[in-house]
């Protein structure tokens, strides 16, 4: 059993860092599934890898399906953040749809909702 | 008694080896389908499972402990088509082996050709088809490796429940995967001649090699999915990387069963998978479904590397195809 644990430990230690991998959503502000007040003025997503700005986007839609973003999303910080400004949001549920390309050319996408209360 | 059960032991060992090797991982929309241990999942990717180690007590009479150490290397030829190679080394402890004093050696080499047929991000659904080939005579007969080749055409699928209505948010991190394969031995029977020591007459023992339905499924609850697509509860990172899972892997002989019988064997495997950025680690218990499947709870562990993430510009990309790593199957999206 010790040998087995040793083998697993050595192999784990040999795993390269996360410099290259699929860009997955790490966290967001407003948080995934959260209810916030007052309404946020921007949406920021943090990813597990660096992004290619030209192929990374955020869409935010209200309950009627209308887009409520103001302008295009921008990759900021250490290239792991994707940020977009929002129009004035009324109380309700909003769907965030993101599509990104990591610097190692892996494409990922996802969506989640958040809520704005009175 | 043991002599009579040895062919059955070899049969069981062969099919057990053939159903615990192949693994893949896959991303479909919001959903990450991890590599699974007991059955193959529907993913097509560049990856390396090294090692997979299992310890169990067989369903033979008498039962004996078996240790399996295996590896699998999967390489994409195109974006949707991959070939994998999976050797397994086995050690049978006494009273296992042909003369009941244990045995060790390689099982037959297994090769799997798999094609991703359909992928739908919105409904987190994926389906693949494959052909698994266990190359007869490439392993040691002492540990149950057969002298003939076995062909297993297989269908794989995965479905995440992220498309459930918001009133069922709690269930959206659930996903299921499954596979159904039909193992076809290259020969239908083998005969062994021996001399009866009492009468001096020649005996011929014939063993029929059944066609076997290999079927199984997994039920998984993805904490990464919960955090990134449903609700971020602010849990510790290590918890947000876990996927609790239950796997079931079954084998049912369905034809040519004169000497094998028709009893379904298999295990139910509850466990957990930890998902890193470039690897995953999994450990599961192996609970036999009946006496013929084993005599005590075994354990299986696996370290699995995502080569497409570790080496995205070299061995982690398809040999043919464009450089953008996104599945483009012939149907769906």
Q: How far is B99 from chain A (nearest CA, A)?
A: 27
Q: What are phi and psi of B239, to 5 degrees?
A: -70, -40
- Token pair, residue A7, equals 């083998």
Higher pLDDT, A20 or B297: B297
Instruction: Provide the pairing of β-strand A35-36 with A107-116.
Output: parallel
In B52-81, the residues whose Cβ lies within 8 Å of chain A are 53
E-strand ranges in A35-73 read 35-36, 42-47, 57-61
- Would an 8 Å CB–CB cutoff place B236 in contact with chain A? no
Residue with tokens 């090797």: B21
Per-residue pLDDT of B101-113, as tens digits, reads: 999 999 999 999 9
> Which residues in chain B (204-233) have CB-CB distances under 8 A to chain A?
224, 227-232
CB contact under 8 A, B228 and A21: no
Hey, which residues 64-103 in chain A have their CB within 8 Å of chain B? 93, 101
Residue with tokens 């409904």, as numbered in its chain: B123
Name the residue facing A105 among B50, B311, B323 (closest C-beta). B323
Residue of B29, B274, B312, B317 for testing the chain A interface, max A β-carbons within 10 Å: B312
Average pLDDT on A101-110 reads 90
What is the ipTM metric for this complex?
Answer: 0.88
Predicted pLDDT of residue A70:
96
8 Å CB contact of A4 and B301: yes
Query: Which CATH number, 3.30.70.2190, 3.60.140.10, 2.40.160.40, 2.40.50.1020, labels domain B2-332?
Result: 2.40.160.40
CA B320, B324, B326, B329 torsion: positive or negative?
A: negative
pTM: predicted TM-score of the whole model, two decimal places: 0.88
Residue in B234, B278, B313 closest to A16 by CB: B278
* Contact residues on chain B for A24, CB-CB shorter than 8 A: 32, 224, 228, 277
pLDDT in tens, B172-225: 999 999 999 999 999 999 998 888 888 888 888 899 999 999 999 999 999 999
Q: What is the pLDDT of residues B223-263, one digit of tens each?
A: 999 999 999 999 999 999 999 999 999 999 999 999 999 99
pLDDT at position A6 is 62
Judged by a CB distance cut-off of 8 A, whether residue A118 touches chain B is: no
Identify whether the C-beta of residue B85 lies closer than 8 Å to the C-beta of residue B110.
Answer: yes
CATH for A21-116 is 2.60.40.1220
Distance CA B150, CA B210 (A): 11
pLDDT on residue B25: 75
Q: Which residue of A has its CA nearest to B30?
A: A110
Of B43, B119, B109, B47, residue with least CA distance to B81:
B43
pLDDT at position A110 over 60: yes
Q: B100, B94 in Cβ contact below 8 A?
A: yes
B299 or A13, greater pLDDT: B299
């Amino acid at each position: 059993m010790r040998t087995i644990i040793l083998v697993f430990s050595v192999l784990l230690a040999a795993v390269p860092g996360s410099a290259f991998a699929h860009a997955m959503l790490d966290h967001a502000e407003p948080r995934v599934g959260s209810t916030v007040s007052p309404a946020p003025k921007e949406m920021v997503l943090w990813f597990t890898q660096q992004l290619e700005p030209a192929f990374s986007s955020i869409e935010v839609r209200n309950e009627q399906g209308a887009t409520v973003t103001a302008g295009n999303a921008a990759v900021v910080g250490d290239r792991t953040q994707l940020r977009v400004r929002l129009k004035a949001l009324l109380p309700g549920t909003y769907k965030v749809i993101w599509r990104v390309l990591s610097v190692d050319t892996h494409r990922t996408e996802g969506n989640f909702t958040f809520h704005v209360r009175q | 008694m043991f002599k009579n059960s040895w062919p059955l032991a070899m049969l069981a060992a062969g099919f057990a080896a053939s159903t615990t090797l192949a693994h893949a991982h896959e991303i479909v929309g919001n959903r990450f389908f991890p590599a699974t241990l007991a059955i193959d999942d529907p993913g097509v990717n560049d990856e390396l499972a090294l090692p997979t180690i299992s310890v169990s007590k067989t369903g033979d009479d008498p039962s004996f402990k078996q240790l399996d150490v295996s590896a699998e290397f999967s390489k994409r030829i195109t974006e949707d088509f991959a070939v994998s190679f999976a050797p397994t080394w086995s050690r049978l402890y006494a009273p296992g082996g042909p003369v009941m004093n244990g045995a060790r050696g390689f099982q037959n080499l297994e090769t799997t050709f798999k094609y991703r047929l359909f992928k739908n991000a919105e409904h987190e659904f994926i389906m693949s088809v494959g052909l698994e080939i266990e190359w007869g005579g490439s392993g040691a007969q002492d540990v149950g490796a057969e002298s003939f080749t076995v062909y297993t055409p297989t269908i794989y699928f995965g479905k995440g429940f992220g498309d459930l209505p918001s009133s069922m948010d709690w269930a959206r991190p659930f996903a299921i995967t499954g596979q159904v394969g039909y193992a076809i031995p290259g020969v239908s029977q083998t005969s062994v001649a021996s001399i009866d020591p009492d009468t001096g007459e020649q005996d011929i023992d014939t063993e029929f090699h059944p066609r076997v339905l290999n079927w199984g499924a997994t039920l998984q609850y993805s904490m990464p999915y919960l955090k990134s697509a449903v609700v971020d509860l602010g849990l510790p990172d290590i918890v947000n990387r876990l996927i609790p899972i239950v796997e079931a892997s079954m084998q049912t002989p369905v034809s040519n069963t004169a000497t094998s019988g028709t009893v379904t064997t298999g295990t139910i495997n509850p466990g957990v998978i930890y998902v890193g950025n470039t690897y995953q680690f999994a450990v599961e218990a192996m609970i036999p479904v009946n006496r013929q499947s084993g005599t005590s709870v075994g354990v299986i562990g696996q370290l699995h590397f995502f080569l497409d993430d570790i080496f995205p510009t070299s061995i982690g990309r398809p040999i043919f195809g464009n450089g953008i790593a996104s599945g483009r199957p012939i149907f769906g999206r």
